[in-house]
Amino acid sequence: MNANQLINMIIRLVTRRLINKGVNTGVDMAARKGKRVEDMTPQEREEARKARELAKRGRKSMRIGRRLF
């Protein structure tokens, strides 16, 4: 394995992590509808929690789907 391959491997790993973090942050922001946690009512917090769980289930389903096909 040469230096170019190692560099590409590390760049892909870091890029993947950053993109995943950005996507997760965006999904969380959408679940909270742009509000801060402190500004939310208990009902809104519960809805945001359910939305995050739904997104998590969706990511798991996508992962399983990629393994199958």
Domain boundaries, the chain: 3-68
pLDDT score for 31? 83
CA distance 19 to 9: 15
Tens-digit pLDDT profile for residues 31-59: 888 888 788 888 988 988 898 899 889 98
Confidence of residue 64 (pLDDT cuts 50, 70, 90): very high
- Burial annotation 3-25 (CB, 10 A radius, 16+ → b, else e): eeeeeeeeeeeeeeeeeeeeeee
pTM score of the predicted model = 0.63
Q: Is residue 18 pLDDT above 90, yes or no?
A: yes
